Chains A and B, each alone.
Chain A
Amino acid sequence: MPCRSAGPGPCSPSPSEPRVLLYVVRRLGQSVLLLLAMSMIVFLAVYAIGDPVELLVSPQATQAEIAATRAAFGLDQPLTTQYGLFLANALHGDLGRSFIFHEPALALVVSRMGATLELALSALLIATTLGIALGLIAALHSDGWIGRAIMSGSILGLSLPTFWVGILMLLCFSLWLGWFPAIGRGRTGDVFGIASSLFTLDGLRHIVLPASTLALGNTALTIRLTRSGAVEVLQSEFVKYARARGLAPRRILMVHVLRAVLIPLITIVGIEFGGLIAFSVVTETIFAWPGMGKLIIDSIYVLDRPVIVAYLMVIVFLFVVINLVVDLLYRLLDPRIGAN
């Protein structure tokens, strides 16, 4: 089997443990370079856009006060000095303080990460379980009305804009039916020191609507991928052979077909998970969900550079980690990949 091309890293020649370790270390090393490049691009971009001071100062501020604010944020320095200072501090783990909130930018982003992660995880769970189940059904009944209905539904799911779906969900399930609350995260519960709204009933009620909204596009994608994969696999030699051996259809489907279908799916799901985190922005804004996405939108709006930089670096790092995990999972599911 050829090397998977979606991941940024090369395929390592052998699955043996030290090699895997080396591979992980090399990939993490590359991520440092990536983070550096990222910070430079974001820094430059925000610098080119301008500075937020005029948006922030009071309407009665004099020019001297405006200048003083600019100086307090170091925005009066040349770009190279500003970036140099940022890098020096970043080496000590300090990504600067938010211009707006006066809190360390990294801590601010991380404090919001829990809310976003639980939202993305819930969405991922919905998308994969529902997507695979419906995809398999669609594959088994590819000529029947059920299969066709699922496939048309999935096109709808892919093409509807999140914003619109979110508002519609609010109208249906919150306003008309009154089943779920419209806004916010609800009560959080502590399990092993992790505070999450997934651990309380109130929290779960709050997460249903935003998670479903966020999951919609991915559910549709998963349905389509599962179906096309399953249709192909169902006609392959080994399935025919399994049938000939008299294996139960359920066992063929759940063990042999599913396993073959899962391999390409994992790549997509991995990439999509990063996407769910990064693009929860719209969903969080609609449902006033206090996650990173809402924070970054607010920060971009007022050019809060430390937060923008910190957020994007966290996201890049998450993408790197997710890709790495996907690659490792991939080897686990199909040992041939490491061996080639």
Chain B
Amino acid sequence: MLTRRDGLRLAGATAGVAAFPGLGHAQSANRLRMGVGLTPNSIDPHYHNTGQNNSALRHVFDTLVNELGQQDVTPCLAESWRLVDELTWEFKLRQGVTFTDGTPFVAADVVFSFQRVPTIPNSPGLFTPYVKLITKFETPDDHTVLMHTDKPYPFVPRDVAWVQILSHKIHAGATTDDFNSLKVAIGTGPYKITKYTPGDAVELVRNEGYWGKKQPWASVQLKAIAQPETRLIALMSGDLDVIGGVAPQDMARAQGNADLSVQLFPSVEVVYLFPDSTRDVSPNMFDKTGKPLTSNPMRDARVRRALSMSIDRKAIVERVMQKAGAPAYQMAAATEDGYDPSIPEIPYDPAGAKKLLAEAGWPDGWKMTINGPVGFISNDDKILQAVGGFFSRIGVETSVESVSPAVYFGKATNREYCLFMTSFSVPLAITDLKSLIVTKSAQTGDGPFNRQLYSNKQLDDLVFQAQSTLDPAERRKLIGKAMRVAMDDVAVMPVINTVATWATRKAAVKYNAVPLGWAWAMLAEPV
């Protein structure tokens, strides 16, 4: 097949030249074209905290530090940082940096940027989680910023990585519209933006006055292509140089193509199941005759453990994901700060699971419907089907229902599902715990995505203690302990860690992927 295809391609190449002289796919040198699923929905870097915006706008605007999803952050506009006392962080800023219009970068710009974050009107999702714990700023000189917190807070250097830095001179009073019209799209970053078409493409040119390493690309295009098949074809035909996200079913074809280089890179995304372990009666659960259950078996930790043990995670990775993933046994990927390697694997043990069910008083199982999104995680509907199959094998007759994300998350939050699947991608293990498993509270704002209202005092205490522990080793130990409590009680069932896939044209580009999955021209090298 492949040889035939290549033959056709060769034949086509000559025919193409004959039919359209001078109209080949050849591109100008030093231009990089990246195909991604989504491009930014605004050029205002404080408008919407979402992967595609944070990724694309970092070409134009810098941050104090770089967050790549690794164990530590790396210097960017801040050259160094340290803890002055328990409640104060000091950032030393890089000197001689200017915005592309010549305005120098100074400490006041940092304060301005952080204070602008909560003020953006009509934002679909603000960056406030990263700035609200900083209660006061001081700028002793033009290249030093002090950030104060009310309580000891070790994650300031990680949080500042999400706030892109604007100028207090250029951007005072600038609205989101001013950014979208490119009037004030002026940053200190390695590229300048020349064109923005919402939902379609962003055009960038090199910032010749950039303070850092000179970028190899004179111009860059970020192109939104929703269809993974189209992305791959566009790459193969030479219309793109790098693409993110090869569909699992296209993997073999991409890897078999001699012109392409395909890499699988572990991401921080954890796919997990969230059972209802709190209500006496949960929806979508029936006895074997089809009558609604009058009690909720999943309140019993043994039952939750049995369900989790029934899942053959390795088989899901091998067959459903075509090896594009890894089994997950805790709510954090191995690259995350706070991942605890000592947390044991969850064994695949259907016999043991049946025994546990019998012990808990459900030897014959029951019937239920479980839910998941479709098109939200790569292959999500197929993962859910596999999970339903494994549950059925231990006597819990499970049917699955995949729902469009737009509808799905609202229903999950309304508790219309007894057990549902979704994923979470953050670079810190403590955030997984704090957002998903810690007791949900309207007052403190904790546990915002704890949709099944799981609650465990011991776990909460450990997480809060970790959150204000400044010593990294001590803190990681506490996070590991909290994670272990959650896993022992089967608060949630991690299933797999996904991988990000990148494909490049081998002869043109090498891509150095990072765990957070950034689609950055800065990570692409010419070959």
A interface residues (Cβ-Cβ under 8 A, vs B): 49-66, 68-69, 72-73, 97, 99-103, 108, 167, 170-171, 174-179, 181-184, 201, 205, 285-288, 290, 294-295, 297-298, 300-303
Contact = CB atoms under 8 A, between A and B. Distances in A.
Contacts of B425: 59
A102 B122 contact: yes
B398 interface: no
Interface stretch (B4-12, B66-74, B353-361): B4-12
A103 B181 CA distance: 10
A60 B199 contact: no
Given A63-B448, A167-B229, A288-B224, A52 B406 contact: yes
A62 B236 contact: no
B13 A178 contact: yes
Q: Which 5 A-B pairs have the closest CB atoms?
A: A62-B445, A50-B410, A177-B12, A60-B129, A58-B49
A99 B125 contact: no
B25 A181 contact: yes
Given A55-B405, A59-B449, 16 more contacts: A56-B48, A57-B125, A59-B424, A63-B440, A100-B48, A101-B41, A102-B177, A167-B229, A167-B233, A170-B237, A171-B233, A174-B233, A183-B35, A183-B223, A287-B230, A297-B226
Interface size class of B (residues with CB under 8 A): 35 or more
B465 interface: no
A40 B230 CA distance: 36
B426 interface: yes
A97 B177 CA distance: 11
Given A61-B125, A66-B448, A178 B25 contact: yes
Given A102-B41, A290-B201, A294-B226, A60 B12 contact: no
A298 B35 CA distance: 16
A231 to B, nearest CB: 36
Residue among B199, B201, B233 with the highest chain A CB neighbour number at 10 A: B199
Interface of B: 5, 8-9, 12-13, 15-16, 19-20, 23-25, 35, 41-42, 44, 47-50, 121-130, 176-177, 180, 197-201, 223-227, 229-230, 233-234, 236-240, 375, 404-407, 409-411, 413, 424-426, 431, 435, 440-442, 444-446, 448-449
A182 B231 CA distance: 9
Contacts of A175: 9, 233, 236-237
Contacts of A56: 48, 50, 124-125
Given A49-B407, A101-B42, A178-B9, A298 B226 contact: yes
B126 A58 contact: yes
A53 B124 contact: yes
Contacts of B446: 62
Contacts of B130: 60
A176 B227 contact: no
B125 A58 contact: yes
Nearest to B159: A60
Contact of B226 (A52, A288, A303): A288
B233 A182 contact: yes
A298 B226 CA distance: 9
B494 to A, nearest CB: 16
A179 B199 contact: no
B445 A301 contact: no
B449 A50 contact: no
A308 B491 CA distance: 38
Residue among A60, A181, A285 with the highest chain B CB neighbour number at 10 A: A60
Contacts of B240: 183
Contact of A288 (B125, B128, B129, B225): B225
Nearest to A302: B406
A61 B129 contact: yes
Nearest to B23: A205
Nearest to B424: A59
Given A54-B409, A60-B426, A178-B237, A288 B42 contact: no
